[in-house]
Chain A
Amino acid sequence: MSDTTDTSPEAGREAEIAASVGHRHEDVAIASQWQLIWWAFRRHKLAMVGLWVIGLFYLVALFCEFFAPDDPTQQNRRAVFHPPQMIHFIDNREDGWGIRPFVWEMDRHRDPDTLAITYEKSGEKIYLRFFGRGEEYRMWGLFDWDLHFLATVEPRDQFFLFGADRLGRDMFSRVMYGTRVSMSIGLVGVAIAMVLGIALGGASGYYGGRTDAIIQRLIEFVLSLPTIPIWLALAAALPPSWPVYQQYFVITLIVSLVGWTELGRVVRGRFLAMKNDDFVIAARLDGASEGRIIFRHMLPSLTSHIIASLTLAIPLMILAETALSFLGLGLQPPAISWGVLLKEAQNIRSISQAPWLFIPGGFVVVAVLAFNFLGDGMRDAADPYAH
């Protein structure tokens, strides 16, 4: 790009990047575009945190059977609204202390007059083991396994890190399974939005003229529809008797209907600006086909922007699914997603009795924040030559 004596603004910016991430100037001069992007991205502390958090979430989503100590649909009448238990690590016993994870066992008491149920510590400990054997599950629907991240030493015992819901189901396990659905809806939705956004935005910017006008009106139309009433209407059209995977797919489609407009606008703007760039004209004069010009020459220079826009679209979709499921119009039980779980918190009586039903909401907030930080960082780093 530039030699070491160059004093152009780009060189200054490169030197700045280089200094901040501990690379020598010569390295920067020969670094690839993706390397520059990565260096620029790494300077964003919050974006890095976001990247880690999201990585962790997708890890949980991928292996939720392993992270969940229990079957998320397993009901337990003796653990209705069981409060959350803390894990303790330092275990003091008569024979000395050691590092063993355990939770205090809680016993159920029923007040004979009011019939109100309370839980009190019984003084017994339930010992836990990392990578222990527990309930059997079917991993990815492929093979049976019983290894868990955290399991009770005594197989008959149960523990509730996030408490239990009104049917005595373990909230922690349910949140883990919900992570899989909620996080993947964002990904699948964004994939659909990407196809729509690139196809329509690209056509709009590349051809211009009448095509552009029509697609622009379409985007304006979609943008000015009040999304939630439209979603409600769409989601109400779903028969609740549909199997879970069918609901899942349609909800994803509905949710992705919003995400593509923003991307369409970004792609259109870039295409318009790039249409008459030298390298595009050169390709055209060389007799390259339209498809080749678009996919081989123009789209690659947009990749980083597209990824950034997509990252910023995912949280919108997660929020949309959560809101729909919360209202009872999205996924229906027995499907588990953060929104479905929050539906349990709808009733003021159950949340005043069991405030831990809010925990899935915390996961929504953290996921959305992390995606926003990550997307912001990617947007800033997307064009490492800009300043």
Chain B
Amino acid sequence: MLLRYILKRILWMVPFLFAVSIVAFLLIQAPPGDYLTTYIAKLGESNEVLDQASIENLRARFGLDRPLYVQYFKWVANLLQGDFGMSFEWRQPVSDLIWQRMGLTVMLSFSTLLFTWAVAFPIGVYSAVRKYSIGDYVATTLGFIGLATPNFLLALIMMYVGVVYFGSDVGGLFSNEYKNAPWSLAKFWDLLKHLWLPIVVLGTSATASLIRIMRANLLDELNKPYVDTARAKGLSEFWLIMKYPVRVALNPFVSTIGWVLPNLVSGAVVTAIVLSLPTAGPLMLQALLAQDMYLAGAFVLLLSSLTVVGMLLSDILLVLLDPRVKYE
């Protein structure tokens, strides 16, 4: 039953990704001109001029002279074979450029998700159980401010604090000596030392809303008769709350992974640009600005897929956690 459900959901992803690929392609084609226009303009800045023949030549080589739909189908056909095309700007296969960055993006998003849960869960439970206590007010206030502060502003403030008060540049994911080093334990440790900042920056707003959701759900449960019954039977207060109402309240908590993950992926783009992280964001922005269409297209497509996979995971988790959820 569960297996059939998962299979059905995976099948659903196919038309979805197809639609995403069309959207991604159209978006990247939307700017007037193409990569060559940008390229020629750039050459013009350094006083180099390309003659008309070599422009036509380049255009044919990149396949930019074909009609749109031909370009699209060629792109998709190559995609299905795992070939993401060439990046115009880097003169390298796109797949060489993106995988490491996508890997770091996935890692960053998932560690942020874990951080978000780890922080929001205890605070949310505390806020509900000690409703209107000082701790609850502090959590609510911080939560609201976290919700209202844009990611990039938080990142900027963190950088400001880092530079002015600690005298260190907090951007990036690796120290200089490890940037191009092969993976080792020392490099991993260095990564962890840098990772906390983007995680905090990225996770704050999601944590804030999760705390509010957890608090509201648990408050609904705490007044139900079964809680009184358990209390009357002499269960200790801690176990009483953990064992029954929290489990029920956890349900919507898990379902939020569906929207938390797209938010994280989105937020990671902006945060990464501000903090200059070697994740997907900065390179994608650059590719979009330069109309490096295959590179940009690959990013948009992969980030969307990441979102869809996240939503699938959340639905499966939800079904596992609560048998009452129907396999629709």
Contacts and interface: CB of A to CB of B under 8 A. Distances in A.
Interface of A: 221, 223-230, 232-234, 236-239, 315, 319, 322-323, 326-327, 329, 342, 345-346, 348, 351-352, 355, 358, 361, 364-366, 368-369, 372
B87 to A, nearest CB: 16
B181 interface: no
Contacts of B262: 223-227
A232 B307 contact: no
Contacts, number: 122
Interface in B281-328: 284-285, 288-289, 291, 296, 299-300, 303-304, 306-308, 311
A343 B139 CA distance: 30
Contacts of B274: 346
A238 B288 CA distance: 11
A315 B205 CA distance: 14
Given A224-B304, A226-B262, A233-B24, A368 B148 contact: yes
Contacts of B296: 233
Given A228-B269, A326-B152, A369 B30 contact: no
A233 B144 contact: no
Nearest to B284: A229
B284 A364 contact: no
Contacts of A323: 150-152, 270
A229 B148 contact: no
Give the dominant DSSP class at B's interface.
Answer: helix
B99 interface: no
A237 B27 contact: yes
Nearest to B310: A224
B30 A237 contact: yes
Nearest to B31: A237
A322 B144 CA distance: 18
Contact of B159 (A223, A348, A364): A348
B251 interface: no
A225 B304 contact: yes
B306 to A, nearest CB: 8
B148 A228 contact: no
Interface string B258-281: 010010011101100110000000
Contacts of A348: 159-160, 163, 169
Given A223-B259, A229-B284, A234 B30 contact: yes
A226 B307 contact: yes
B43 interface: no
Contact of B269 (A223, A229, A342, A366): A229
A322 B150 contact: yes
Nearest to A345: B156
28 contacts: A221-B16, A223-B259, A223-B262, A224-B262, A224-B311, A225-B20, A226-B262, A230-B23, A232-B285, A233-B24, A233-B28, A233-B288, A236-B289, A236-B291, A237-B31, A238-B31, A323-B270, A326-B150, A327-B270, A342-B156, A352-B163, A352-B164, A355-B164, A358-B160, A361-B156, A364-B150, A368-B147, A369-B144
Given A322-B150, A346-B156, A228 B270 contact: yes
A224 B308 contact: yes
B27 A230 contact: yes
B145 interface: yes
B164 A226 contact: no
A239 B38 CA distance: 12
Given A224-B307, A229-B299, A351 B160 contact: yes
Contacts of A342: 152-153, 156
B147 A233 contact: no
Contacts of A355: 160, 164
B125 to A, nearest CB: 22
B28 A232 contact: no
- 6 tightest A-B CB contacts, nearest first: A228-B266, A237-B30, A368-B148, A233-B27, A236-B288, A237-B31
A227 B266 contact: yes
Contacts of B32: 239
A235 to B, nearest CB: 9
Contacts of B28: 233
B163 to A, nearest CB: 5
A302 B270 CA distance: 36
Nearest to A349: B163
Given A223-B259, A224-B311, 9 more contacts: A225-B262, A225-B304, A226-B262, A229-B269, A236-B289, A342-B156, A346-B274, A355-B160, A368-B147
B19 interface: yes
Contacts of A229: 265-266, 269, 284, 299-300, 303-304
B157 interface: yes
A166 B299 CA distance: 35
Given A225-B307, A226-B265, A226-B304, A369 B152 contact: no
Contact of B160 (A221, A233, A326, A352): A352
Given A226-B266, A237-B30, A358-B156, A365 B307 contact: no
Nearest to A46: B144
B149 interface: yes
A33 to B, nearest CB: 26
B163 A358 contact: no
B20 A239 contact: no
